[in-house]
Structure 1
């Protein structure tokens, strides 16, 4: 199934409404849990992980996003504080647009509002699908739910061509599984033909 690659607004349009580009270093925080939602963020270069930690300090990764993808916009509509952290996994260039300017841009460009609604709806749908997988005690179901969710953010509509650009440890943090379980389950999925493992790359 071909899906929408949320969300990639033309950079010139963002800048025309007062956006600014900012450079972030690897491991630098873009925003942290309980910060006020003040900006729309879009990645120009680099990678950002969305995460939080449980009471025991264990990290849970919600997603890892890359070039031409956005994050944090849902909280602008809700006027809620962020429930997660956004941290750069590498040196990154991120465009940010202030909240009021963001809504002004949407009001003047109704087509963007429709696209935004489609993106947010898609995210909710696949997040629910992933949560179904995470509720399963079956590691393969957990991994499949995650892989479907990650692939939903990209335009590839093919078999075993989408590169899951995460480490085994990151996948473990995304699914709540042990790294050893992830490695063992991925090998089993390869034998069953669900994925291809090629030079340590996971192709789905």
Structure 2
């Protein structure tokens, strides 16, 4: 994403977050650009019954939470560190100035947002189909090809737990466990020492 030297030049600070600490909460105004230096962040919502729905999981050096900065709207979800994390935080006005002065960076940020929107559209279509196999494979393929750029068969090992996959796809964890076994029988995934390979 944005080079750390550029973030520093425009006044970003690197903040430490403990595991399960909120970076921002749903309905708060968007005041900063965030980019992960180390660690991992999930964006989520909670249903009225308390069930968590994970929108996305981000790791270094990815950014998160940009669309509300551009649209001048509140955050539609929470952002929380899933482990000890260091995160660059750049004020909105400085972020705008950086993009004005660095058009190549602006293009990279726009491309990253476009890829995320594409993923959201794909997932919306999969959720509408109600096919557990398609939902799970779509998540794994997105992480394999788009995030990690791995093309070898079974070359991607996900660190997502069965519960994470359930929260990302809107499935029950029991359904995820059963469906992964079915996908393994069809040679769509491999399961080695409880880790899923795609």
- Give the distance between the partners of 2:139 and 2:180, measured in 1 at CA: 12
Q: Provide TM-score, normalisation by structure 2.
A: 0.95
- Give the distance between the partners of 2:175 and 2:2, measured in 1 at CA: 39
- Give the distance between the partners of 1:16 and 1:163, measured in 2 at CA: 36
- Give the distance between the partners of 1:74 and 1:156, measured in 2 at CA: 27
Question: Displacement of 1:149 after TM fit?
Answer: 2.9
Q: How does 1:1-204 map to 2 (within 5 A)?
A: 8-151=1-144, 152-204=146-198
Question: Displacement of 1:42 after TM fit?
Answer: 0.7
SS of aligned partner of 1:22: strand
Question: Number of aligned pairs?
Answer: 197
Question: Displacement of 1:181 after TM fit?
Answer: 0.8
- Give the distance between the partners of 1:135 and 1:68, measured in 2 at CA: 31
- Give the distance between the partners of 2:102 and 2:156, measured in 1 at CA: 32
**Any stretches of 5+ residues in structure 1 without a counterpart?**
1-7
**1:43 and 1:71, CA in 2 relative to 1: closer, same or farther beyond 3 A?**
same
- Range moving further from structure 2, 142-151 or 185-194: 142-151
- Give the distance between the partners of 1:77 and 1:159, measured in 2 at CA: 38
Question: Displacement of 1:157 after TM fit?
Answer: 2.7
Question: Displacement of 1:107 after TM fit?
Answer: 0.6
Q: Stretches of 4+ moved more than 4 A in 1?
A: none
RMSD, aligned CA: 1.1
- Range moving further from structure 2, 99-108 or 126-135: 126-135
Question: Displacement of 1:104 after TM fit?
Answer: 0.4
Question: Displacement of 1:167 after TM fit?
Answer: 0.5
Question: Displacement of 1:137 after TM fit?
Answer: 2.1
Q: Provide TM-score, normalisation by structure 1.
A: 0.93
- Range moving further from structure 2, 188-197 or 145-154: 145-154
Q: C-alpha offsets along residues 158-183 of structure 1, whole Å, 9 cap, x if unaligned?
A: 32112221110111111111111101
